[in-house]
Amino acid sequence: MWYFAGTSTHMIPGADDAITRDGKALILAYDHGLEHGPVDFEPVPATTDPSTVFDVGTHDAVTAVAVQKGVAEAYYPSYEDDVTLLAKLNGTSNLWMGEPDSAVNWSVDYAADIGADAIGFTFYGGSNHEVEMAEEFRQAQEQAREHGMGVVMWSYPRGQGLKDDTSPDTIAYASRLGLELGADIAKVKYPGSADAMDWAVQSAGDMKVVMSGGSKTSDEAFLSTVREAMDAGASGLAVGRNVFQRENPEAILDGLEAVIFEDASVEEALAASAGLEASD
Ligand code: FBP
């Protein structure tokens, strides 16, 4: 029995409402302790403490905070009134040296018990483990539908056979995989140009596509890339390091809020927050 009677089982209208504002998302990703290790917290050591990043996640611009199970269990109870939880279901450490794969670390039922409104799931299309990962995604996606939870696919094609994991065709294929497999939102790496992002958005049909943040860049460079992605039809951003590795994460969130939700130019966004800096 589907939670939303009378709708298709695919891309349920409104399933992502809890993690979007005006149809747009700004997901603060904080699963890096698992994916990359504590090295990602070195630029701002206070971010080693999940409370620091949950505090950042209370900024109005943030539509959801994405974390792994252990962090959600221990810290989300203190933030459930102020933060929307996106349960990042699978994840693998940087210590794993095999073909890209990702362990499913918690069930959708358990995530729902903790209070999650959506699930996040990494899918490595092109990996030798693609078939198993697709089957795991199927199970998670269908359980999320039963709970009325949104489904965000971290769609990262990679593996032995893939030469360029951010080429325009690869990223268009990544966003299309989200549509084909039943995500509400696909999070993809920026393919390097507005035209390529436009192709990725077109390839996803009505499903939303958000840009992945990547390693930290300057205020102006980052806001410019987000502006390009939005102009190309993206529905927002799922970002980690470009927010929490800044000394003043609130300032960049002010700027991102202006670009994503208020359609501001980069210049307007830089002016919107005293803490932001234009490049030399
Ligand atoms: P960033 O914005 O810091 O790039 O985070 C996005 C993200 O998808 C995280 O959720 C995840 O931990 C990380 O990137 C994985 O990056 P990769 O697999 O490319 O090392």
State the catalytic residue, choosing from 69, 88, 187, 189: 187
pLDDT value at residue 14: 83
pLDDT value at residue 277: 83
Pocket test for ligand 1, best of 154, 185, 215, 222 (most atoms within 8 A of CB): 154
CA 130 from chain centre, in angstroms, equals: 20
SS percent in the chain: helix, strand, coil, step 5: 40, 15, 40
In the residue annotation, 163 being an active-site residue is answered as no
> Ligand 1 pocket, 32 CB below 6 A?
yes
Residue minimizing CA distance to atom 4 of ligand 1: 214
pLDDT value at residue 13: 73
Closest ligand 1 atom to Cα of 216: 3
Print pLDDT tens along the chain (280 aa).
333 433 444 457 788 999 999 999 999 999 999 999 999 999 999 999 999 999 999 999 999 999 999 999 999 999 999 999 999 999 999 999 999 999 999 999 999 999 999 999 999 999 999 999 999 999 999 999 999 999 999 999 999 889 899 999 999 999 999 999 999 999 999 999 999 999 999 999 999 999 999 999 999 999 999 999 999 999 999 999 999 999 999 999 999 999 999 999 999 999 988 889 887 5
Write out the H or E segment, with its range, that includes residue 140: helix 130-147
List the structure tokens of 59: 């900024």
pLDDT value at residue 109: 98
Angle between helices 219-231 and 249-261 (to 10 degrees): 20
Going from the Cα of 156 to the center of ligand 1, the distance in angstroms, rounded, reads 10
What pTM, to 2 d.p., does this model score?
A: 0.94
pLDDT value at residue 280: 54
Closest ligand 1 atom to Cα of 241: 3
Of the candidates 239, 254, 253, the residue with the CA atom closest to the CA atom of residue 31 = 239
The answer to whether 248 and 275 are in contact (CB under 8 A) is yes
Name, in order, each residue with C-beta under 8 angstroms of 276's C-beta and a sequence gap of 6 or more.
Answer: 219, 223, 251, 252, 254, 255, 269, 270
